[in-house]
Structure 1
Amino acid sequence: MKRKTVAMRWFYYLFGMLVLALGLILNIEAGLGSSAIMSVAYTVSLVSSLNLGDMTFIVYCLFLAAQMIINGKNRSWLDLLQLPLSLVFTRFMNLFKAMIPYESGFLPTDLLMLAGGILLTGIGAAMTVNMQLIPNPGDGIVNSIARRCGRELGFCKNCFDLGCVALSCLIGLFYGNPLLGIGLGTVLSMIGVGRVIAVFNHFCKDSLVHSAGLDS
């Protein structure tokens, strides 16, 4: 039974990771700006020779370093496993980006693509964090902040996204366009992803955790 429980946790975790990677790419492919948490990597990738996956990996390394500092004495060196995970995760992002032949420019379908991206990003983030294995660094740092502050995960996600957007605007301003990687999709995802996490956890977390054997 224990072996089956571990297998289920990894199944939900890996599935959530793929859903998250796809959701982040759909946000970008909508052509309305990147998702909030991706905005820094996306903005820098637009003005540098680094592709989105490579830049995301660099940002995730910085997130992990910040996470270790926030956790303080409660840090676990097992968190360093986020590094190889991030490398694999960002390769899947590049793969999904190459596989989706979407041409943005028609607002109704762009908004539909964006809505799908927001939904998948929130669900994927919630699933990976709830399995209590190795979080994506972008979600791991939010989870660390939520535990440290004693606040709800979705709320902290919104606050963290706001900080990412502000930094992206500063980077864009340095290159002459503060909205370089920011758009309507960024604003909507900044609001929507945190709410999707909260709604998903409200309706699905208990059954998901029970199915994975985490409540036993």
Structure 2
Amino acid sequence: MNKDMIKRMIIYIAGILILALGLVLNAKTGLGVSPILSVSFVLSKIVPLTFGTCTAIIYCILVLIQILLYRKVSLAIILQLPLSYLFGILIDFYNMLIPINNPAFPYAIIMLLVAIVFTAIGAFLMVSVQLIVNPGDGYVNAFATVLNKPFGKVKFVLDLTLVCLSTIISFVVLKRLVGIGLGTIVAAFMTGPVIHALDRHFGINIANIVIASKTKG
């Protein structure tokens, strides 16, 4: 394994850790969770399973959706299953580690902004090194590929769909709105632009590492 491949793996692991932290911080603001975790958050309030376990289950379903859309099973998709399990563990770990819950509104806003930055950094690092795709991005890319539509537009529609589904489940089962709020909306609109800014400033650096790892490999 060459030095650049090791760099890719370190960046990827850092991305996973930072992304999970950002998503948990988003949930702990009390202002609403990130769209991709909205369904798993609501389910964790209904069934006797942790937030992380519900997230892992939803992610596995997203992997299944990719298989159905592509109509084939590939190693790149299958490897998302253990990643889903690991991500669920990280969600529960951070959820237990961070004692903050529903802070006062001014602090919640600050916490939300920090969460969005962490989420964007984590997603950017994971995608940029081109290793195992996060199921949350993988299923969006599958829809975009099959429908021949831009990734950004498809992601917005799918995020909105998840939020609507979470809202319906909340009102039908819990008789109240759970996990959806200002934080959900802000995260949906701000995370993408932050990722774009990171890519504009640092994308070429990581791209060079990826190219070098493939060339020397």
TM > 0.5 fold call: yes
What residue number does 1:95 align with? 93
Cα distance in structure 2, aligned partners of 1:146 and 1:126: 18
In the alignment, the residues of structure 2 paired with residue 116 and residue 177 of structure 1 have an alpha-carbon distance, to the nearest angstrom, of 31
Conserved? CA contact 1:157–1:194, under 8 Å: no
What displacement does 1:45 show? 0.7
Task: Look up the match of 2:13.
Answer: 14
Where do residues 87-166 of structure 1 align in structure 2 (5 Å cutoff)? 87-166=85-164
Give, in whole Å, the separation in 1 of the partners of 2:113 and 2:77.
31
- Give aligned pairs, total: 214
- Conservation of the 8 A alpha-carbon contact between 1:158 and 1:194: no
Are 1:64 and 2:63 matched, yes or no? yes
The answer as to whether partners of 1:129 and 1:140 remain within 8 angstroms in 2 is no
Q: Check 1:57–1:164 CA distance in 2 against 1; reply closer, same or farther (3 A cut).
A: same
Write the deviation string for residues 153-173 of structure 1: whole angstroms up to 9, x where unpaired. 444332221111011011112
Q: What does residue 39 of structure 2 align with?
A: 40
TM-score after normalising by structure 1:
0.90
Q: State TM-score, norm by structure 2.
A: 0.89
- Shifted more, 5-14 versus 141-150: the winner is 141-150
Report if aligned partners of 2:130, 2:210 keep a CA contact under 8 Å in 1: no
CA shift, 1:175, in A, is 1.7
**Structure 1 stretches lacking a partner, 5+ long:** none
* Letter aligned with residue 51 of structure 2: L
Residues 20 and 90 in structure 2, CA contact (< 8 A), matched pair in contact too: yes
For the residue of structure 1 that corresponds to 2:45, the secondary structure is helix
RMSD, aligned α-carbons = 2.0
Tell me the amino acid that sits aligned with residue 9 of structure 2.
W
* Cα distance in 1 for residues equivalent to 2:130 and 2:141: 10
Structure 1 residues 167-213: Cα deviation after superposition (integer angstroms, max 9, x where no partner) = 10111121253522211111111111222222222332222111333
d(CA) in 2 for partners of 1:106, 1:169:
24
